Chains A and B, each alone.
Chain A
Amino acid sequence: METSAPYCPKCGAANPSDAAYCYLCQARFTDGAERDAATAENDTHLQAAFPTVEAAGGAPQTFRIDRPISFYDAAAENVLRSQFLFLILFGLFFILGGTIGAAYNNWQGGVAVAALVYVILASVAWFNGASIVLSLHDARRADPVNDRQLINVVEEMAIAAGLPPPKVFVMETLGMNAFAAGRTPREAVVAVTRGLVNKLDREELQGVVAHELAHIKGRDTLYGICAAVLVGAVAMMSDMFLRGTFFSGHRRNSEDSRGNIAFLLLGVALALLAPLAAKILQMSISRQREYHADAGAAEFTRNPLALAAALDKISTGGTHVPGENRGTQHLFIINPVQSFTGESSALISTHPPTAARIQRLKTMAGTA
């Protein structure tokens, strides 16, 4: 059932197995060892859902597009996968708390501290709304007269998605990018760059806007906040434990104070590894949400090829935005900070390789 997609040795883009040229960078394929090596190397891009298997050098995998997928199936599958990943992330978090607690002979205390840390960080994140992201990237309210087409496109897609129309913002830059923010559909915003509005035609713009609305409909900002908070909390607890300040008040009585050696060792190991594992999980959730939003865009526009064309244009046309930084990179339709060529590391990328996204969209249209 799994077929091996060949990867361009130059840029890492996935290509049809009979292609003579890379469709992305136009490099000519040389058959044989070189291409196989590139394919093997690029297998690390794959199968976002189970990164730990890849990290452990698991069986080579391919993009899962070997069968025609409808956007309904794609959407349902992605939802299941991101919920599963989320469950693992939550589990990891409380196991870390419990183990650290057990090292002090008090695992309930550890879980309680973990829950407390989570609640504090989550409420900080919750009250930092969309306005910060918007001002960070210099986004201004779209002009109802001059940006009429953009506003119309957003309102059309809101109808297709069954959402209240979000507020529309424009970033005055020639780079091509877009993001959505806001925790609920009611307070959602969509921001696009001037370059995107100028260089995409109406249908491509619809595709991009539909992708952003799919993020809003899937509550992806919320997913993002929760995942980021969990990663932050895991890092914080690991730090506290390694510095010996987890239970800072010395209220324990003397027979408890030596702690449990086995759990102490386990705790140290977890505290060292958990932050990395949490980060990898967070990133693979983020990649699942991107695939999910692409499938959602296909559902709303019934035109996956327009989004595929837009992604292609964006990735070759420059994706830079004002105020781009690692804190908000995951919000954009294509990551403005990191480029998705062969060199990008698959495990800690916020987005799947653009070529893989385009390929999936083409599969939904039945033309890949």
Chain B
Amino acid sequence: MYWIPLVLLGAFLLGFVTSYNRLVSLRNIFNNAWHQIDVQLKRRYDLIPNLVEAVRGYLTHERETLEKVIAARGAAVNATGAAAQAKAENVLTESLKSLFAVVESYPDLKANQNVMELQEELTSTENRISFARQFYNDSVMAYNTAIQSIPANLVASLFNFAPAEYFQADEASRAVPKVDLR
């Protein structure tokens, strides 16, 4: 009967290793998800100059709106720190919203193939940003659930798997910008 403790020890070690590995992979998923949000934000920065270029000729009387977009983009690109950046992103989203409202009132512009394509790209980018944030929060939930459940919580406390924080949209940006011009 000397083998019984050995088998138990083996089973314990196996469970320990698998749950440690699972926590590591969940942590990597949500870390990666966080960087995916940045990738999509970058995509938006890259699209905005094209959009401004495409509508500039038509919107000679709307200089102010265009300048706001450009300034907001600059501020968002240069923002440092998560809170400041989130704030700058919200300003940018707002300025894009008003730009699209302006575009709506110029029928020529609305029908312009180039502008339509850019609008689709920006709609898609806004969606990508919010889906990336959603996926980040989903992976945070999966990770937090894992580190709080028995038996993985033992492994988590032993190896300092701290609970992750959710991305929280502030009140202003909770009203999703509707860039929906089909």
Contact = CB atoms under 8 A, between A and B. Distances in A.
Interface of A: 148-149, 152-153, 155-157, 159-162, 201-202, 299-300, 302
A149 B120 contact: yes
A155 B128 CA distance: 8
Interface stretch (B63-71, B97-105, B129-137, B158-166): B129-137
A152 B120 contact: yes
B168 to A, nearest CB: 16
Interface string B109-132: 000000001001101100110011
Contacts of A161: 135
Contacts of A202: 123, 180, 182
Counting chain B residues whose Cβ lies within 8 A of the other chain, the interface size class is 10 to 19
Given A152-B124, A155-B124, A202-B182, A160 B131 contact: yes
Given A159-B36, A202-B182, A152 B135 contact: no
Nearest to A153: B124
Contacts of B144: none
A159 B124 contact: no
Given A159-B131, A160-B135, A202-B182, A148 B29 contact: no
Given A162-B33, A202-B180, 5 more contacts: A148-B120, A149-B124, A152-B120, A159-B40, A159-B131
B90 interface: no
A152 B124 CA distance: 6
Contacts of A302: 134
A159 B128 contact: yes
B29 A162 contact: yes
B139 interface: yes
Contact of B117 (A148, A160, A299): A148
B182 to A, nearest CB: 7
A201 to B, nearest CB: 8
Interface of B: 29, 33, 36, 40, 117, 120-121, 123-124, 127-128, 131-132, 134-135, 138-139, 180, 182
Contacts of A159: 36, 40, 128, 131-132, 135
B131 A157 contact: yes
B124 A162 contact: no
B148 to A, nearest CB: 16
A302 B138 CA distance: 12
Contact of B127 (A148, A156, A201): A156
Nearest to A203: B180
B130 to A, nearest CB: 9
Among B36, B135, B180: residue with most chain A CB under 10 A: B135
Nearest to A152: B124
Contact of A152 (B121, B139, B182): B121
A201 B123 CA distance: 14
A160 B134 contact: yes
Contacts of A153: 124
Contacts of B33: 162
Nearest to B132: A159
Contacts of A152: 120-121, 123-124, 127
Contacts of B36: 159
Nearest to A210: B131
Nearest to A156: B127
9 contacts: A149-B124, A159-B131, A159-B132, A160-B131, A161-B135, A162-B138, A162-B139, A299-B138, A300-B131
Among B117, B124, B131, B132: residue with most chain A CB under 10 A: B131
A202 B180 CA distance: 9
Contacts of A300: 131
A148 B33 CA distance: 24
Among A148, A149, A156: residue with most chain B CB under 10 A: A156
A149 B123 CA distance: 10
Contact of A156 (B29, B131, B138, B180): B131
Nearest to B40: A159
Contacts of B127: 152, 156
A148 B123 CA distance: 12
Nearest to A157: B131
Contacts of A148: 117, 120-121
